[in-house]
């Protein structure tokens, strides 16, 4: 996996993960990559610091994946998976209609943009919930 800092035509900068540089190029060319804030598909790589390899065998990819998986497990243990109901539940908590708690789930780009526009803090995660993946 490779991560890029991307920017839309509206100067929103966000991070996205791809299987390879070729996968990034293909998806951007087919306009499959959209800004999570405004939905714009005019995407380009943003300026980012280069990834420098550690000396020796430090910083192996396997260790990085294990660290990300451990972080994912910790995050999921401390929040409730709400599936496709994420946007509605996040809005209900923000509006005071239901108690505030940590949740994670899925939302469309339009739903995420609407939540953001209304001042509701949401953050895309760089992985699928373990409940829905084969990790």
pLDDT digits (tens, 9 = 90+) for 18-40: 888 888 999 999 999 998 888 89
β-partners of residue 105 are 83
Residue 86's pLDDT is: 92
Run of H or E including 105: strand 103-105
pLDDT at 37: 86
What's the pTM value of the predicted model, to 2 decimals? 0.51
pLDDT above 70 coverage of the chain, percent: 84
According to DSSP, residue 132 is labeled G
Q: What is the Cα Rg of the chain in Å? A: 17
């Amino acid at each position: 996996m490779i991560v890029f800092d991307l920017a839309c035509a509206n100067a929103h900068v966000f991070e996205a993960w791809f299987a390879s540089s070729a996968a990034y190029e293909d998806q951007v060319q087919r306009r499959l990559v959209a800004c999570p804030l405004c939905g714009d598909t005019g995407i380009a790589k943003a300026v980012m610091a280069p990834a420098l390899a550690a000396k020796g065998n430090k910083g192996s990819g396997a260790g990085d994946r294990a660290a990300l998986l451990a972080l994912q497990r910790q995050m999921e243990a401390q929040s409730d998976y709400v599936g496709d109901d994420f946007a509605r539940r996040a809005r209900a908590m923000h509006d005071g209609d239901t108690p505030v708690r940590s949740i994670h789930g899925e939302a469309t780009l339009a739903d995420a943009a609407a939540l953001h526009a209304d001042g509701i803090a949401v953050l895309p995660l760089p992985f699928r919930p373990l409940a829905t993946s084969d990790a």
